[in-house]
Structure 1
Amino acid sequence: MAVPAPSPAVERANRMSAANMIRSLAPLVVICLLLVAWQAFRTSGEETVREVDPASTVRLAVERAGYPVPAPAGLPEGYRPTSARTDAGNAREGDAVTLQIGYLTPSGEYAGFAVSDDPGAEPVRDVLDGATDEAAVDIGGQPWQRLTTERGETALTREADGVVVVVSGSASDDELRTVAAAVTPAEG
């Protein structure tokens, strides 16, 4: 008696073994790994920090504030602005206006600048609440108060005519002093 030929469905099922699936997927996995490695190699030398131009934010704060808004100007090379924000967009005449600018310093640390005519403004409170006084320092002929924040960072602050200026961050004292020394009345 003749043995019947196996059906095509049985032959197909016999070919669907785990070893055959691995052999089929291996080239796809290798191609995917090569694409990932190529993309990582292409972007490995790129700078990941995106700079911003704070000029329009400063200009808006100057136009809406009821006080002469100071801001850092003429910082040495290596100080790169990475953020700028103000609440002046919604401000009406007589409202408090706060300006913040964040910098990446030459050493790769953060230096933040904040100014407000509201001593209770959140950016000011975030730095100064719980900070301990260290000493008064002279920076560019101006008296500044040096503090240590609850996070252990240095903060430099001064207040004049109801306007609070704060320079703080993880940057070194010298870098923070450089930012503080650059604070001058901004032009709109």
Structure 2
Amino acid sequence: MSTTGPTSQPPGGTAPPPSPAIERANRMSAANMVRSLAPLVLICLLIAGWVAFQQGPDARVRTVDPTSSVQLAAARASYPLPVPGDLPEGYRPTSVRTDAGAAGEGDPVTLAIGYLTPGGEYAGFAVSDDPRASALTDVLGDAEQEGSTDVDGEAWTRWTTARGETALSREADGATVVVTGSASDGELVEVAAAVEQVAP
């Protein structure tokens, strides 16, 4: 007695047609996926751009606290150290340098502080009792004197630097004070007007 087992094909020898769901899945391609994701990507880019616009370039500025460097320079300098004190709102210190850490008794001391101004420009302050200090020579070395500017009753020498920027300088207690940068003349005068002596 023989038996006939199940066959892999239905009667007639033809496979059933695929379901509509399978046909739709087969039609899904990489291009279709990209087209589907494009609106979402566009929305994300628009949101990121709006956030960056709201923050502005100033949000990425790194500020520093010059207090410790100022105190060190004031303690080591052989002259009463002048620095910008109470600056108007919007001035942010972004750099500070001093050689006071390596200065011995009687050695020259140089201090330089850089600021981002309210106008988004750079204003640099430097003071040194070393006429060869690069903080001074880099500014005044090839500068042309352009007369003087009155700052709160004090006469500051006005210069045009080799970079075409304005510089203001004055001598005080054997040291030279310089204010310069890409900032407007008004902002440079504001920095100069804020300069005051620091108690060691």
Q: Same fold (TM over 0.5)?
A: yes
- Shift in Å at residue 78 of structure 1? 1.2
More deviation in 26-35 or 165-174?
26-35
RMSD of Structure 2 on Structure 1 (CA): 2.6
Paired residue type of 2:71: R
2:82–2:197 CA contact under 8 A, matched in 1: yes
Matched, 1:54 2:66: yes
More deviation in 142-151 or 21-30?
21-30
Residues 31-180 of structure 1 correspond to what in structure 2 (within 5 A)?
42-46=51-55, 47-48=58-59, 49-180=61-192
Aligned length: 173
Identity score, percent = 56
1:111–1:176 CA contact under 8 A, matched in 2: yes
C-alpha change, 1:76 and 1:22, in structure 2 (3 Å) is: same
2:110–2:127 CA contact under 8 A, matched in 1: yes
C-alpha change, 1:35 and 1:116, in structure 2 (3 Å) is: same
In the alignment, structure 2 segments of 5+ residues that lack a partner are 1-28
In the alignment, structure 1 segments of 5+ residues that lack a partner are 1-19
1:118–1:162 CA contact under 8 A, matched in 2: no
Distance 1:92 1:39 in 2: 52
Distance 2:112 2:192 in 1: 13
Distance 2:162 2:183 in 1: 15
- Shift in Å at residue 107 of structure 1? 1.0
- The structure with the largest alpha-carbon Rg is 2
TM-score, structure 1 as length reference: 0.78
More deviation in 41-50 or 76-85?
41-50
SS at match of 2:196: strand
SS at match of 1:180: helix
Paired residue type of 1:84: V
Distance 1:26 1:89 in 2: 62
TM-score, structure 2 as length reference: 0.73
Q: Which runs of 4+ in 1 moved over 2 A?
A: 20-48
2:79–2:174 CA contact under 8 A, matched in 1: no
C-alpha change, 1:32 and 1:157, in structure 2 (3 Å) is: same
Distance 1:36 1:93 in 2: 59
1:105–1:175 CA contact under 8 A, matched in 2: yes
1:134–1:147 CA contact under 8 A, matched in 2: yes
Distance 2:132 2:156 in 1: 19
Distance 2:77 2:117 in 1: 28
Deviations 1:98-125 (A, max 9, x none): 0011111111111100000101100100
1:114–1:124 CA contact under 8 A, matched in 2: yes
